[in-house]
Amino acid sequence: MTDSGSHHPATEPISVFLLDDHEVVRRGVHDLLEAEPDIRVVGEASTAEQALVRVPALRPRVAVLDVRLQDGDGVTVCRELRSRMPDLACLMLTSFDDEEALLDAIMAGASGYVLKQISGTDLVTAVRTVASGKSMLDPGATARVMARMRGEVPQEEQVPGLPGFTDREKEILVLVSEGLTNREIGKRLYLAEKTVKNIVSRLFIKLGVDRRVQAAVIASHTLVPSNRQPGRPA
């Protein structure tokens, strides 16, 4: 038994915890990482609730977290775990190239953000990279996100009628005008409720309003008509 880690401490394997609500994906990542001599999977979970209990108990060096879960989201798990374990490296794993989720991951203290389409070799490299204290956040995507945080939107992404607004912001603004709550918008667009809340807050600042009804009025006059096409139900 080497649980104590007293044997060969200089070459102690990188301990990894996996959180993914799809068993097939979790098993595939488990087998991929376990095949490496310097990596050891010490635990797994299929829900955010399980991960928040098991990770602090197992104290892994790296947590590979699925962004979208049945009972929550990996970014929130990352934020909570990092508040308890500042040395934990969180590697976000997602099927979707979503800049809003990347922004949330950066703000939550994630060390890396990679797509599930990544090759097995690259995923292993990502785990080793974040375990060494380095970042695996794509420089180009991170630069775009940081520019967006400063309110800079590329010309090609601006929405006609509302300069400076992205398609995602326009989409959420329309749903606000329909009276949906942040939670309902999150379910509709497969986003974490906190992600929606952050976007809505930025929308209020951009629009110069402080209430949803004010934003809804602007959306109904500026966006909704252009989103309804003849012959298609509203």
pTM above 0.75, yes or no: no
Q: What is the mean pLDDT of residues 20-32?
A: 93
Q: What is the mean pLDDT of residues 209-219?
A: 77
Contact 168, 158 (CB under 8 A): no
- Which residues, 6 or more positions from 84, have their beta carbon under 8 angstroms from its beta carbon? 56
Q: 229: exposed, middle or buried (C-beta count within 10 Å: 0-12, 13-18, 19+)?
A: exposed
| Rounded Cα–Cα distance for residues 168 and 149 (Å) | 14
- Amino acid (one-letter) located at 163: P
**So what's the pLDDT on residue 234?**
39
Model confidence over 134-190: pLDDT tens digits? 887 755 666 665 555 555 545 444 444 565 677 888 888 888 888 889 999 989 888
**Among 106, 64, 56, 104, CA closest to 83:** 56
The helix or strand, by DSSP H or E, that contains position 62, with its residue range, turns out to be strand 62-66
**So what's the pLDDT on residue 51?**
96
Q: Computed over its alpha carbons, how large is the radius of gyration of the chain?
A: 20
